[in-house]
Amino acid sequence: MGGSDETASDEALMAAYVAGDRDAFAQLFSRWAPRLRQLFSRSGARADEAADLVQQTFLQLHRARSDFAPGSALRPWLYTIALNLRRQQLRRAGRKPESALPDEGAIVDGGAGPDAPLAGRQLRAALDQLPEAQREVIVLHWFEGLSFREIAEVVGGTQTAVKVRAHRGYTRLRELLARAGVTAADVAPYDGSGD
């Protein structure tokens, strides 16, 4: 592969990396590090924690590269590693995720008018009030665009259980946002559709 094909799939890059192509790892890192930083920020990690967790995620990917099953999708596997590391970090610290108020763009995709930063803060506060299992499913579905099948794979549950968590989480999130005077248009990307 030589690492020069920017259009290669994540899975092709991972296969090349497993076969010894260091450039493939560099491409995977450049593709996924920003998304993982956002994922960690949405889970309440401070910027320095998020950066450290990204590094740990790729270290784990490196260590477990031979465990990656050819033909499998990389995204759920990578998110599983990342979220397990975040859970471990929170357990070690003995605390719930903090509301670090990361960059508003990490919370509200593009924003919706002049109130976008306020809506982003209110969304962050509402997400922080959800149980961790619901928040995790919502972040993966709404912000990361994973299907319920992929989320079930990431969190180690059934698709039905994930849909129940998502339904309860979205219902509670809508209630919290409505109390804060935030409408769905203020906090797109979720359009109410499931899969």
pLDDT band at 151 (very low <50, low <70, confident <90, very high): very high
Query: What SS3 state is found at 138?
Result: helix
Domain 1-100 has CATH 2.40.50.140: no
CA atoms within 13 A on the CB side of 147: 5
What confidence score (pLDDT) does residue 152 get?
93
Q: Name which of 182, 169, 108 is nearest 136 in CA terms.
A: 169
- Please state, in angstroms and rounded to a whole number, the distance separating the CA atoms of residues 165 and 142: 13
Specify whether the CB–CB gap between 42 and 106 falls below 8 A.
Answer: yes
What confidence score (pLDDT) does residue 172 get?
93
**Where is 58: in which H helix or E strand?**
helix 47-63
Task: For 8-28, write each residue's pLDDT tens digit.
Answer: 999 999 999 999 999 999 999
Task: For 99-116, write each residue's pLDDT tens digit.
Answer: 443 343 444 443 333 444
What confidence score (pLDDT) does residue 95 get?
58
How much of the chain, in percent, has pLDDT values that exceed 90? 47
CA atoms within 13 A on the CB side of 66: 1
For 30-34, 41-45, 154-158, which range has the lowest pLDDT when averaged over its residues?
41-45
Q: Domain locations in the chain? A: 1-100, 112-195
Q: Which amino acid is at 147?
A: S
What confidence score (pLDDT) does residue 167 get?
94
User: What are the CA-CA distances from residue 130 to residues 25, 89, 96, 139 (Å)?
Assistant: 35, 19, 11, 11
- Please state, in angstroms and rounded to a whole number, the distance separating the CA atoms of residues 117 and 145: 22
Q: How many helices (H) and strands (E) does the chain have?
A: 9, 0
What confidence score (pLDDT) does residue 188 get?
55
CATH class of 112-195: mainly alpha
Q: Nearest 5°: CA angle at 88, between 129 and 123? A: 25
What confidence score (pLDDT) does residue 114 get?
40
The mean pLDDT value for 125-143 works out to: 88
Burial class (CB in 10 A: 0-12, 13-18, 19+), 67: exposed
For 14-28, 113-127, 159-173, which range has the lowest pLDDT when averaged over its residues?
113-127
What confidence score (pLDDT) does residue 5 get?
64
Task: For 33-87, write each residue's pLDDT tens digit.
Answer: 999 999 988 888 889 999 999 999 999 999 999 999 888 899 999 999 999 999 8
Specify whether the CB–CB gap between 139 and 43 falls below 8 A.
Answer: yes
The mean pLDDT value for 159-186 works out to: 88
